[in-house]
Structures are given as C-alpha cells and as structure tokens.
Amino acid sequence: MGTRTRGFANNISSPGGVFDATDLNGVVPATNIANSSLTNVTEVSPSLGYAVSSVASDPPAPGTGQMWYNTTSNVLKFLGTTTSGAWASGGNLGTARVYLAGCGTQTSALGFGGETTGVLANTEEYDGTSWTAGGSLATARKQAGSCGTQTSALGFGGYIIGSGVTNVTEEYDGTSWTSGGSLATARRLMIGAGTQTSGLASSGSPDPASSATEEYDGTSWTSGGNFPSTKRDMGSNGTQTSALGYGGKTPGAVTATTHEYDGTSWTSGGNLNTARGSLAGAGTQTSALGFGGTTTSLTPGSTLASTEAYNGTSWSTETSISTARFGLGGSKTGTQTSAVGFGGYTTTFVSATEEWTGAGAPVTRTVTGS
C-alpha cells in the first residue's frame, strides 16, 4: 500500500514550515520539539519546565519553581518555599479568654466557650484576617473538647462553674449550635480529634482524671480503647482512627509523653522536648505541631512560648510563638505548615492571634538585585 504519512496542514505557516500549538493533537515527546518552532503557546507542561510569562496579576495557583513577570508592579516573582517556620500576628479575638475550644484551619478557624470572669458561650469565626461573631453555644462552658471545621464543628464536655463537669455535646453548622448525643463520661480537658460525624474524645478529668475513650458517629458516643494512663489537658489533633495526644497533666506533674490512636488502641510515640500541659496543636498523627502551654501541674505558673513539630516518630524544636501563654485555642484541622493559635492566659486573659507558616511551605518571592 505504500508509505502513509500524517501531515500538519491545519496551521503551518510559511516560509520555513513552522507550526504552532494548535497544530499538535495528542502527546508529542518534549525531546522532539524545538522551542523555536512553537508560537502562540499559552501553557507549557511542567515536564518541559516553566517559562517566564508576563502577567498583569500573580497566577492563582503557581507551581513551586514557577517564575513570572508582573507587569502591574513591574517585578519578577517566583514561588519558592520557606527555609524555617515563623509566627506572625493575626487579628485579635473579639473577647479575650482562656481555656476556649478551637478547630478549623488557619484561614477558616473557630473558637468557642472559654473563661474570663465566668464561663462563656461566645463563638467566633476567623477568616485568616479577622474574627467575627458566630452563633453562641447553648451551654456556656470552658475546657471543652473540640474537633471538625468552622462550618461543621463538634464541642463536647467541659466545665460549668457552679455545676462541675458536663457531658453535653453540641454541633455547629457555621451559623448555630444544636444538641448532639451526650458523652457517657462527663469530663473536661480531654483529647479531641476527628470530625463532626467521626469524632474522638479521650482522657480528661472528672477528678482527678479519666482514661476512657469515646467515639462519635454523628449521633451517639460509643466506647473505644482506653487511654494508657490518667491524664488531662493534652495537646491533640488527627482523626478518629489516627489521633495524637501529647503532653498534659497528671495529678502530680506535667508530662512530655506522646500517644497515638489507631481506632482501637493507644501506643506510645516520641516524647516532647519540653514537658507541658494546657498547650494547643494542629496537624495529623504523623505531621503535628504543638505550641504554648505551662510547666506547672494544677495552677497557672511558668507559661511557654516554645513550638515543637512531630514527624510520627520524634519532636523537633521550632520557632517560638511571640506571646507565651497557656489554655489557648488552635486550628486542629490546620497543618504543620499552616496553623493558628489564639487566646489563652499569661498574667491576664489574651486576645492575641498568631499565624504559623512552617518550613517548606510555599511562598511567593520577589527577585531583587544584590
């Protein structure tokens, strides 16, 4: 039948037989394409490397290493990564408080309950810049457990001045709180992890402390594997089947121990470098961040600013938060490279919010002359 050939007749220009991107249909190996033979190309595959484009505004989702020239600001930019983590100031809470519950992410966080001169029902929502009022809890309390997101959160247990510990559970939909299934064991200062429909509560304090673990299915709590010791006031994060609890207080001292939950039982992990209680945390079981806290067991004492990062095996020291404090809230659903801490207590109630950008996080940089 002879030799068959495929032609690129659609848009070949002359002279020179040059074709542009509209002539290509299918995958052509990069090694078979000469850069000088292409015109009118608006996007280049990452396998070919990034070209320097001229744009009026920064790309919405550039890839690491991508470079562009911003014609509005007349500067050359690229997406790099941070070499070390750092805390930066965010917008203050509307109500300074201690022992508030927190969840969500750095740009979509939730803080609720807590204590000033009495227990609070206030809820506040953070958008990465400022806090605004949300729907109030039905039951005002401090030291509650928490998990979930800003628009699908879970608050459970806690302490009501004059009434003691509670087993009340409430669910937040981004506007208002409604009643959920009650904990089997009323308590405060417990581990909280997971989501609104797949939550985890463990340890905590009736008095002096509890080792019970309970799992929530969106309707009711059922028993899980007991925590291996009686502790309270730990940092915590993760999911119902992959949770992390670290630090915390026993009746006699603060601790540095870490424990990991697999949905059935708890096992030991690597110790914190600094024993502490009343700290906040964010991230996952294998990539967590713990920050703030206190080194005393039962009363306000030596507050901490130190931050530590967990890799699933051991903790490493990171940049400290600017305001040393304990009893602060954190964005549990945040990550090891993007978290937020808010509220707490120093020698007074704190409203300050701090945002964490961890090492390795993407960051847009401007190219400058030396």
Q: Please tell me the pTM assigned to this model.
A: 0.78
pLDDT at 177: 98
* Whether residue 106 sits in one domain with residue 60: no
Residue 311 within any structural domain of the chain: yes
Amino acid at 144: A
Mean pLDDT rounded to a whole number for the chain: 88
State the Cα–Cα distance between residues 320 and 308, nearest whole angstrom: 9
The domain that holds 289 is classified in CATH as 2.120.10.80
User: Between these two residues, 367 and 347, which has the higher pLDDT value?
Assistant: 347
Question: What is the distance between the alpha carbons of residues 123 and 113, in angstroms, rounded to a whole number?
Answer: 7
In a domain, 15, yes or no: no
152-156: strand order across its sheet: 145-149, 152-156, 169-172, 177-179
Number of domains in the chain: 2
Each residue's pLDDT tens digit, 29-48: 666 666 666 565 555 565 55
Same domain? For 171 and 292 the reply is yes
* Local confidence band at 28 (pLDDT 50, 70, 90 cut-offs): low
Residues 130 and 40 in one domain: no
Tell me the mean pLDDT in the region 185-205. 97
DSSP 8-state assignment for residue 225: P
- 363 in a structural domain: no
pLDDT attached to residue 9: 47
pLDDT at 175 over 90: yes
Which residue's entry shows tokens 């700290």?
279
Q: Is the pLDDT of residue 212 over 80?
A: yes
- The CA R_g of the chain, rounded to the nearest whole Å, is 26
Point out the least confidently predicted range of 139-153, 166-180, 346-360: 346-360
Inform me whether the pLDDT recorded for 334 exceeds 60.
yes
- Considering the domain architecture, whether residues 145 and 184 belong to the same structural domain is answered as yes
Residue 311 has pLDDT above 70, yes or no: yes
283 vs 57, higher pLDDT: 283
d(CA 253, CA 268): 19
Q: Is the pLDDT assigned to residue 20 strictly greater than 80? A: no
Residues 310, 172 share a domain: yes
Do 222 and 331 have their domain in common? Answer: yes
pLDDT on residue 45: 60
pLDDT of residue 211: 94
**Is there a domain that residue 132 lies in?**
yes
Q: Chain-centre distance of CA 21, in angstroms? A: 42
User: Cβ(193)–Cβ(243) under 8 Å?
Assistant: yes
**Exposed e or buried b for every residue in 8-18, given b needs 16+ CB within 10 A?**
eeeeeeeeeee
Domain's final residue, options 81, 98, 121? 81
* Selection from 275, 277, 310, 304 nearest residue 292 by Cα: 304
Residue 164 CA to residue 226 CA, distance in Å, equals 23
Exposure pattern of 207-241 as b/e (b: 16+ CB <10 Å)? eebbbbbbbbeeeebeebbebeebbbbbbbbbbbb
Residue at token pair 């020179």? 16
What pLDDT score does 78 carry? 75
Average pLDDT (2-21) is: 51
Which amino acid does the sequence have at 351?
S
Domain annotation covers residue 336: yes
Q: Are residues 65 and 142 in the same domain?
A: no
Instruction: For residues 51 and 118, state if they share a domain.
Output: no
Are 33 and 179 in a shared domain? no
75 vs 123, residue with greater confidence = 123
Q: Which residue among 30, 55, 81 closes a domain?
A: 81
Assess whether pLDDT exceeds 80 at residue 151. yes
Instruction: Return the number of other C-beta atoms located less than 10 Å from residue 301's C-beta.
Output: 11
H/E element holding 177?
Answer: strand 177-179
Instruction: In whole angstroms, give the CA distance from residue 302 to residue 237.
Output: 24
Residue 3, number of CB atoms within 10 A of its CB = 4
The pLDDT value given to residue 8: 45
Report the pLDDT averaged over residues 78-107. Answer: 90
Q: Is residue 204 part of a domain?
A: yes
58 and 92, same domain (yes or no): no
For residue range 217-259, list pLDDT tens digits in order.
999 999 999 999 999 999 999 999 999 999 999 887 899 999 9
So what's the pLDDT on residue 19? 52
Same-domain check for residues 37 and 109: no
58, 81, 104 — which closes off a domain?
81
DSSP H helices in 108-249 = none
pLDDT of residue 22: 54
DSSP 307-348: EEEE-SS-EEEEPPPSS--BS-EE-TTSBTTEEEEE--BSSS
Instruction: Judge if the upstream peptide bond of residue 300 is cis by omega within 30 degrees of 0.
Output: no
Domain with 288, as residue range(s), is 86-357
Question: Phi/psi at 301 (nearest 5 deg)?
Answer: -150, -120
Domain-embedded: residue 370: no
Which of the pair, 29 or 183, is modelled with greater confidence? 183
CB 158 within 8 A of CB 145: yes
Q: Which residues contact 308 (CB under 8 A, 6 or more apart)?
A: 272, 273, 274, 289, 290, 291, 315, 316, 317, 318
Q: Are residues 28 and 139 in the same domain?
A: no
